[in-house]
Each structure stands twice: as C-alpha cells, then as structure tokens.
C-alpha cells in the first residue's frame, strides 16, 4: 500500500490540528475563530473517511484516531465555547454568577459556567460508544458530535454577525444555555436513530429524504445565514423521527 494507507490518517491529523487551534482561540475568548477552525476540522473529518473508502485502506488505527481527533474538535471546543457563553451570560452581582477566586493559583471563574463542560463528557462518551456499536454503519444512533459542535459553535457566529435584541437576549440567557447544554448532552447519547448522508447509489427513490434535506439546507443557509445552522439540526432530527415512524 505504501504512502496510500497513510493519507486518511494524515487528513485526520489535520482535523486534530484544526481542533487544537480552535481550543486556543476558544480559551482566549475568540469564539469566531474557534468556530472557523472547528468548521475546518469537520471538513477534514468528512474527507478522511471518504479517502479511506475510496483508497480501500480502512484500519482500526484510523477508526481510533478519528474518534480521538473528534473528541478535541467536536467535544472539547464546543464545551469551552459553552463555558465562555455561560460566563458572559451570568450576572456579575452574585447568585449564579458568583466568582470562585484563588489567589494561590491566580484563577477566577464562575462555577455555574462549568456546566458547559458537560458537552465534553457527553461527546467523549458518545464517541466511545460509536467505536463499539456495529449498528452505526449506515446510520447514527444519537446526534453525531460534528453536528452537535456546529450547533454550539453557531451561537457566537449568530451573536457576532446577526445580532438583535431578541436573539442576543435569548442566546445570552443563562437558563437557555443551561437547557441547551442538557438537551445537547441528551441528544448525543439518546437511542435515537438518525439517517446518514451516505449514498449507496444516486437514485431519487432510495435517497429522496437525503435530497430533500440537502436542498432544504441550501435554501435555509441562503435566507437565514448562520441562524440556519440550529434550524438545520432541528430539521435533521425531525426528519429522522418522521422517517422512523414511516418505516413502522
């Protein structure tokens, strides 16, 4: 096989590199750049699997490496971003927004905001289950971590590029962010069958749900821009539930 067998793993490492850069920017509070590098990581995440299939060089090492990279790009980064959003949303006059200060370690943080890191734990658990679950070859059980990462990373993009009194008030409300965190963690690990955008052929009859979803995504992005991202995730879950009921 030579060099060919290493190509998918090199692409996976580009995913990990992008995620590592995103971690740096997320910690520094530059959530827009964090979102950009997460998007780049997800792009590489899609093409490493595609490359492995096209080159016929699938391996157990590649499978494990892919999940390790996803833990960073689609797990750690959205968790840090949610922590940053909760920190910004919490009031500064005590209560839930009370600070924890340590003069010894020179640390100041809001303990309530640490709830956002539950996304990291839920993502890691979901990826570990995925590696040992043989039911997820042609579909998913639970929301894929890249989809969840896009959902969380869309929030700072909306706040930056499509701000408005209602949207800003909602996305910077600590209770909304708390509920979103818990829903996110649930969806990642729920026994919820979701369709995958994998085409065994290009026929409309066999792929009409996928074609409808892709067309809907294009239309939503054109008209709603970044607000389209959470709408698309909701549409994805809704179409999967509808499809599952139709099969019963």
In this predicted structure, which of 57-71, 92-106, 193-207, 223-237 has the lowest mean pLDDT?
Answer: 92-106
Q: Could you tell me whether strands 193-195 and 139-141 are parallel, antiparallel, or unpaired per DSSP bridges?
A: antiparallel
Which one, of 185, 193, 49, lies nearest residue 123 by Cα?
185
Domain 2-191 belongs to what topology? Answer: 1.20.120
The pLDDT of residue 169 is: 96
Do residues 33 and 20 lie in contact, with contact meaning Cβ atoms separated by under 8 Å? no
Mean pLDDT over 215-228 rounds to 97
What is the overall mean pLDDT for the chain?
91
Calpha distance 224→126 (Å, rounded): 30
The pLDDT of residue 94 is: 63
Tens of pLDDT, residue by residue over 89-123, are 998 766 666 677 655 566 778 899 999 999 999 99
Q: How confident is the model at residue 124 (pLDDT cuts 50, 70, 90)?
A: very high
Other C-beta atoms closer than 10 Å to the C-beta of 7 total: 17
Do residues 95 and 102 lie in contact, with contact meaning Cβ atoms separated by under 8 Å? no
Tens of pLDDT, residue by residue over 154-200, are 999 999 999 999 999 999 999 999 999 999 999 999 999 999 987 76
pTM across the whole model = 0.92
Place of tokens 């995730």: 233
């Amino acid at each position: 096989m030579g060099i060919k067998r290493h190509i998918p793993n090199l692409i996976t490492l580009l995913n990990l590199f992008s995620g590592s850069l995103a971690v740096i920017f997320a910690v520094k509070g530059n959530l827009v750049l964090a979102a950009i590098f997460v998007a780049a990581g997800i792009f590489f995440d899609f093409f490493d699997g595609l490359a492995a299939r096209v080159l016929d060089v699938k391996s157990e090492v590649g499978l494990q490496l892919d999940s390790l990279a996803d833990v960073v790009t689609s797990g750690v980064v959205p968790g840090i971003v949610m922590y940053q959003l909760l920190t910004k949303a919490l009031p500064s006059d005590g209560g839930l927004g009370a600070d924890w200060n340590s003069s010894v370690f020179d640390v100041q943080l809001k303990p309530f905001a640490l709830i956002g890191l539950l996304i990291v734990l839920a993502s890691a658990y979901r990826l570990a289950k995925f590696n040992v679950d043989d039911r997820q070859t042609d579909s998913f059980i639970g929301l894929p971590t890249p989809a969840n990462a896009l959902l969380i990373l869309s929030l700072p993009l909306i706040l930056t590029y499509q701000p408005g009194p209602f949207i800003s008030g909602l996305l910077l409300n600590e209770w909304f962010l708390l509920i979103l965190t818990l829903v996110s963690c649930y969806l990642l690990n729920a026994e919820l069958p979701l369709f995958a955008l994998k085409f065994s052929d290009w026929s409309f009859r066999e792929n009409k749900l996928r074609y409808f979803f892709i067309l809907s995504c294009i239309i939503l992005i054109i008209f709603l821009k970044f607000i389209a991202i959470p709408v698309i995730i909701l549409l994805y879950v809704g179409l999967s539930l509808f499809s599952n009921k139709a099969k019963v």
